[in-house]
Amino acid sequence: MSMQRLHPRSASQAREILIGVVIAALILAALSATPLLPWHLLDPIRAYFYERPLLNNLAKAVLLVSFMAVQCLFLIWMERKFAGWLQARLGPMHVGWKGVLQTFADAIKLLLKEDIIPALADKPMFRLAPYLVFVPAMLTLMVLPFSPNLVGFDYHLGALFALSISTTGALGILAAGWGANNKYSVLGGMRAVAQLLSYEIPMILIVLCVVTLKNTMSLTQIVERQAGLWNIVAHPLLMIPGALIFFSCALAEVYRAPFDLPEAESELVSGFHTEYSGMRFAIFYIAEFANNVFTAGFAAILFFGGWHGPVLPPIAWFTLKTLLLIFLMMWVRWTLPRLRIDQMMSFCWKLLVPASLILFCLTALSVVW
């Protein structure tokens, strides 16, 4: 079969690409127009909320939860379309324009599915696990600044807080695996924890490099101190290897191929969530994609200047950078085969950990001299 048959380039495809470009341009134009809107009309409401911290935080939390639910629907559609495109097929096509409503239909289907708890499972732990996975995912997104004003909790120790909370997600995954009392689940849970803990070390050290350079642990401050010059441009010799190590760790932290051993379909059925069905399964999915957004956004903040960029408003730049990084993660996922567990562990402990330790020493020395 010739390449021409595998990748047909027809007039209709050119029209589709054109439609996509026009839609993207319209969304960007709409986002660019947001600063021109009469925001000052909202000032009394803002003042009302700001005087009441409890109400203020409650509103932010509800906003964040809705964002988590919606981003999951969009990202799953994007991933399925992208995977289809890479594998020369169409992906979801039937529900809505180009299958854009497919994930809404899936969400409704999951809501209506029977919730099965295996008879041999440890029921309290089985029920507890979705909470232990979802809440850390939410708390990490909470400290992520989407724009100068749009941040759930502007914490002055944000970087440390995000890293420590994201590690606790491992607890939920181990609870899911162990509670299900299924051999695949237990193996998946064990692998997930070993992988998350191992890749946390180089990640912590790379974030430490950025903290050392920028002299602050607050994520908003880290972005503000990159005004005009992104970290990756300002310190290329330190930050380009740093960004590469961080990206490898980010792939492992969100269990994406080539590091998808905890849910390796061909070995472990579905890993730690094999026994989950219906809404509980959906919650694992939301948490997984929220972690995806978090690691991509975290990388954008640490290396690519967060919300800084010309012409477009801050929120548009942050969204663009995050989406681009998520896209890169999907690209890697659908391109590379899965590693074996021994290869994965030795890649981390024999390459990434020593490299990041040396990079950290070099960063400290470069600050002193």
Partner 1 sequence: MPADQSSDFSYLAVVVFTFVGIAFIAFNLLLARLLSPSAPTPEKLTTYECGVQPIGDAWRQFNPRYYLFALLFVVFDVEAVFLYPWAVAFRQVGAFAVAEMLIFVGLLIAGLIFAWRREALQWE
* Residues in 96-115 at the binding interface with partner 1, rule: CB under 8 A: 110-115
Q: Which of residues 13-42 bind partner 1 (CB under 8 A)?
A: none
Q: Which of residues 38-77 bind partner 1 (CB under 8 A)?
A: 46, 50, 53-54, 56-58, 60-62, 64-65
Whether residue 258 is preceded by a cis peptide bond, meaning omega within 30 degrees of 0, is yes
Show the binding pattern over residues 219-238: x = contacts partner 1 (CB under 8 A), - = does not. -x------------------
Q: Is the dihedral of CA 47, 53, 55, 61 positive or negative?
A: positive
Q: Which of residues 326-365 bind partner 1 (CB under 8 A)?
A: 341-342, 345-346, 349-350, 353-354, 357, 360-361, 364-365
Residue with tokens 């809505």: 96
Out of 74, 85, 104, 131, the residue judged to bind partner 1 by CB under 8 A: 131
Nearer to partner 1, 151 or 316 (CB): 151
- Among the candidate windows 19-27, 35-43, 85-93, 270-278, which touches partner 1 by CB under 8 A? 270-278
Q: Total residues contacting partner 1 (rule CB under 8 A)? A: 88
Out of 144, 175, 193, 249, the residue judged to bind partner 1 by CB under 8 A: 193
Minimum Å gap between C-beta 105 and partner 1 is 15
- Among the candidate windows 12-20, 190-198, 292-300, 305-313, which touches partner 1 by CB under 8 A? 190-198
Amino acid identity, residue 185? S
Out of 105, 269, 323, 332, the residue judged to bind partner 1 by CB under 8 A: 269
Contact flag: residue 263 with partner 1 (CB under 8 A) = no
Out of 86, 135, 233, 244, the residue judged to bind partner 1 by CB under 8 A: 135
For the record, the structure tokens of 212 come out as 């050392």
Helix 158-180, helix 278-303: angle, nearest 10: 150
Nearer to partner 1, 14 or 157 (CB): 157
> Would you mind telling me the total number of residues written for the chain in this entry?
369
Count CB atoms within 10 A of the CB of residue 72.
Answer: 22
Minimum Å gap between C-beta 98 and partner 1 is 27
Nearer to partner 1, 205 or 330 (CB): 205
Contact call for residues 221 and 300 (beta carbons, < 8 A): no
Out of 275, 304, 307, 359, the residue judged to bind partner 1 by CB under 8 A: 275
Out of 72, 75, 142, 329, the residue judged to bind partner 1 by CB under 8 A: 142
Give the closest residue to 303 by CA, choosing from 244, 238, 232.
Answer: 232
Give the closest residue to 134 by CA, choosing from 239, 286, 241.
Answer: 286
What is the rounded distance in angstroms from the CA atom of residue 335 to the CA atom of residue 173?
26
Contact call for residues 219 and 144 (beta carbons, < 8 A): yes
Minimum Å gap between C-beta 1 and partner 1 is 34
Minimum Å gap between C-beta 15 and partner 1 is 40
What is the rounded distance in angstroms from the CA atom of residue 238 to the CA atom of residue 255?
26
b/e sequence 142-173, b meaning 16+ C-beta within 10 Å: bbbbbbeeebbeebeebbbbbbebbbebbbbb
Give the closest residue to 143 by CA, choosing from 244, 202, 222.
Answer: 222
Give the closest residue to 187 by CA, choosing from 170, 200, 174.
Answer: 174
Out of 30, 116, 229, 336, the residue judged to bind partner 1 by CB under 8 A: 116
Minimum Å gap between C-beta 356 and partner 1 is 10
